[in-house]
């Protein structure tokens, strides 16, 4: 397992979240000033300096529940609101899109180029906001400094860590199903043709050399795919052509996306049990999550600017149906993600809440995850 994986996971998932939100804001004809404010607020929060300092520390990946909680807060860092069903769908799309990109990377180091494609897109979203752009550029330079000099073996560890993180997620996405890159069971279909990784040759040729390193014989063998050479390597600089298209925007207003939970009823029930049962590592996960959120400043909208609700489904009726379906017999249609319940208070939370000068709220019974969400709402 690589301890350098978390920043890449977070930034790539965040990039996919921004693509999806931008698509839905346009599809629902949200006024441009409100849409711009939403994107600016989320990106500003996402690339907060203190938050990123926590993220870049050498550490193991946070749990899926912890990351989901962080992205819940990021998605609500502005005047936009999503209900539970839409947030579930948003997170499903984010995770499956990035899982597909990791699987398709021609070589492990290309995960960094995928990240840079997402960063380029983030910069485009806030091109008219110089202060936020400076925030993003600072993190971009930190990415280059941290990752561009890593050996190939470290990137292989990063890729394997990401694949282990995603290995149990098999959510069907309409775009992938339509393009026949995903099977009906939610598993991806990997191509056997296409460009070969940079620095490698097209398969089908065997070269034999003598002890002096001179080529003495050649032989060929048939290959089942059709391959092409990559003419140039993608740029790992602040500006440049990344060459690969993984990590660019695959969404458009005319191409809506849907998600469906696949798998047998038995597997679905097992996942539900896993999500709802108390986590034996809850204390450790809470420590990690509290440290991460300790650097995340959520700014409340100023003034009396009204908020709005964003729907990631085609209609309000579809969203209501997705929210209402919770019985086991419907697990093949939607995924139900919940924060594990635990009533104990934690000293780390109290310390962070004191640092942020959170105003005292009426006491009520809630989970640790709910405590964190409430804390961040009050900032």
Choose among 185, 167, 163, 166: nearest CA to 176. 185
Tell me the pLDDT band of 288, cut-offs 50, 70 and 90.
low
Tokens of 349: 């939370």
pLDDT, tens only, 93-128? 999 999 999 999 989 999 999 999 999 999 999 999
What are the E-state strand segments in the chain?
80-81, 171-173, 194-195, 205-209, 215-220, 227-228, 259-261, 308-309
Residue 211, Cα to own-chain centre: how many angstroms?
A: 49
Here the tokens at position 131 are: 């202060």
Out of 9-23, 161-175, 184-198, 326-340, least confident range: 326-340
For the chain, the structural domain boundaries read 5-184+236-255
* C-beta of residue 119 within 8 angstroms of C-beta of residue 16: no
Q: How far is CA 210 from CA 213, 217, 219, 307, in A?
A: 5, 9, 15, 73
- Looking at residue 333, its pLDDT comes to 41
Q: Could you tell me whether strands 308-309 and 80-81 are parallel, antiparallel, or unpaired per DSSP bridges?
A: parallel
Axis-axis angle for helices 6-27, 84-104 (nearest 10): 120
Nearest of 55, 30, 192, 63 to residue 115 by alpha carbon: 55
Backbone φ, ψ for residue 219 (5° rounding):
-145, 150
352 falls in which pLDDT band (50, 70, 90)?
Answer: very low
Q: Do residues 276 and 2 make contact, with C-beta atoms less than 8 angstroms apart?
A: no
Half-sphere exposure for 175 (CA within 13 Å, toward CB): 15
Give the whole-angstrom CA distance, residue 287 versus residue 293: 10
Look at residue 199 in the predicted model and tell me its pLDDT: 86
* Cβ partners under 8 Å of residue 215, min gap 6: 207, 208, 209
Which residues are bridge partners to 194 per DSSP? 227
**Mean pLDDT on 140-169:** 94
Arithmetic mean of pLDDT over the chain: 78
**Whether pLDDT at 25 is above 60:** yes
| Residue 337 in this model has a pLDDT that exceeds 80 | no
Residues contacting residue 105 through CB under 8 Å, at least 6 positions apart = 111, 114, 159, 244, 246
pLDDT per position as a tens digit, 179-237: 899 999 999 999 888 889 988 889 999 999 999 999 999 999 999 889 998 889 999 99
Confidence at residue 271, expressed as pLDDT on a 0 to 100 scale: 42
Would you state the pLDDT for residue 203? 92
Residue 338, both tokens: 């919940």
Residue 208's contacts (CB-CB under 8 Å, 6 or more residues apart) are 215, 216, 217, 218, 219
Q: According to the model, what pLDDT value does residue 360 have?
A: 39
Calculate the CA 130 to chain-centre distance: 25
Give every CB contact of residue 12 below 8 A, 6+ residues apart in sequence. Answer: 98, 101, 114, 115, 118, 247
Predicted TM-score (pTM) of this structure: 0.75
- The arithmetic mean of pLDDT across residues 15-23, rounded, is 94
Q: Give the Cα separation of 378 and 106 in Å (integer).
A: 44
Residue 67 sits at the vertex; the CA angle it makes with 360 and 243, to the nearest 5 degrees, is: 135
pLDDT bin (cut points 50, 70, 90) of residue 291 is low
Give the model's pLDDT for residue 66: 87
């Amino acid at each position: 397992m690589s301890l350098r994986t978390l920043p890449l996971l977070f930034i790539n998932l965040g990039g996919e979240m921004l693509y999806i939100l931008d698509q839905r804001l346009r599809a629902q004809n949200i006024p441009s000033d409100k849409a711009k404010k939403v994107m600016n607020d989320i990106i500003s929060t996402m690339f907060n300096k203190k938050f990123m300092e926590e993220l870049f520390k050498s550490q193991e990946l946070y749990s899926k529940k912890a990351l989901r909680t962080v992205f819940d807060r990021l998605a609500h860092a502005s005047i936009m609101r999503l209900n539970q069903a839409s947030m579930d769908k948003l997170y499903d799309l984010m995770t499956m899109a990035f899982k597909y990109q990791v699987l398709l990377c021609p070589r492990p180091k290309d995960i960094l180029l995928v990240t840079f494609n997402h960063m380029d897109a983030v910069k485009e979203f806030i091109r008219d906001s110089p202060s936020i752009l400076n925030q993003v550029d600072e993190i971009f330079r930190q990415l280059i400094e941290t990752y561009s000099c890593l050996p190939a073996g470290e990137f292989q560890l990063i890729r394997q860590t990401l694949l282990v993180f995603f290995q149990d997620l098999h959510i069907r996405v309409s775009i992938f199903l339509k393009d026949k890159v995903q099977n009906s069971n939610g598993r991806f279909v990997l191509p056997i043709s296409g460009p070969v990784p940079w620095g490698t040759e097209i398969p089908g040729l065997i070269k034999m050399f003598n002890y002096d390193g001179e080529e003495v014989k050649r032989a060929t063998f048939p290959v089942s795919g059709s391959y092409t050479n990559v003419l140039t390597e993608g740029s790992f600089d602040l500006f440049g052509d990344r060459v690969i298209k993984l990590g660019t925007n695959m969404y458009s207003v005319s191409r809506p996306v849907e998600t469906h939970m696949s798998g047998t009823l038995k597997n679905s029930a097992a996942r539900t049990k896993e999500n709802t049962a108390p986590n034996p590592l809850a204390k450790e996960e809470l420590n990690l999550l509290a440290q991460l959120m300790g650097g995340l400043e959520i700014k409340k909208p100023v003034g009396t600017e009204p908020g709005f609700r964003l729907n990631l489904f085609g209609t309000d009726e579809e969203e209501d149906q997705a929210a209402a379906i919770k019985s086991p017999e419907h697990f093949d249609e939607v995924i139900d993600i919940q924060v594990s319940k635990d009533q104990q208070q934690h000293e780390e939370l109290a310390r962070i809440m004191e640092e942020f000068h959170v105003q005292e709220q009426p006491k009520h019974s809630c989970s640790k995850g709910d405590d964190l969400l409430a804390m961040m709402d009050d900032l």
